[in-house]
Amino acid sequence: MKIKKHYIKYKYNLKFKKHLLKFGFVGFKIILFHRITKKKEEYLKLLILKKLKELTKRKIKVWFFSLCFFNLTQLPLDSRMGKGKGEVYETCNFYKKGFILFEVKGISIFNSLKLLIFLNNQKIVKFKSIF
């Protein structure tokens, strides 16, 4: 029996520090392991801020815990093997299950559930809210 060697090892446990609320009263946690590109991340931030303005007129604080620092590379289609890694075409980040992507302070539970339903319908990332 041969043992396959896996080069990228991701731990799916909660031994990292980004699964507890630190600043806000409501947090939105990622349900599944996911890769988010910089464009999707900016679009998600725009959607969140827009929807929060629609829901309440009060002052709301939002903390985002996302940084894109991995580079995705791609070779042109007409290149052969041995030409190197390729050019960087996108930056992204990998998020583990249970990572809190953003926290909100100054919003009611009812409005946070509306925001959760709205974000899950967008099908970028599936969220779960924690209080």
pLDDT digits (tens, 9 = 90+) for 112-130: 999 999 999 998 899 999 9
How many structural domains comprise the chain?
1
Q: Cα 30 from chain centroid?
A: 7
46 inside domain: yes
pLDDT exceeds cutoff 50 at 46: yes
Short-list 102, 100, 128, 131, CA closest to 19: 100
Number of residues that this document lists for the chain:
131
CATH number at residue 97: 3.90.1170.10
Whether 47 is covered by a domain: the verdict is yes
Would you say residue 3 lies in a domain? no
Whether 24 and 64 have beta carbons less than 8 Å apart is answered as: no
For the stretch 14-39, pLDDT in tens is: 455 667 788 888 999 999 988 899 99
**Does some domain include residue 70?**
yes
Domain ranges, residue 125: 26-74+87-130
The pTM of this model reads 0.76
pLDDT surpassing 80 at residue 72:
yes
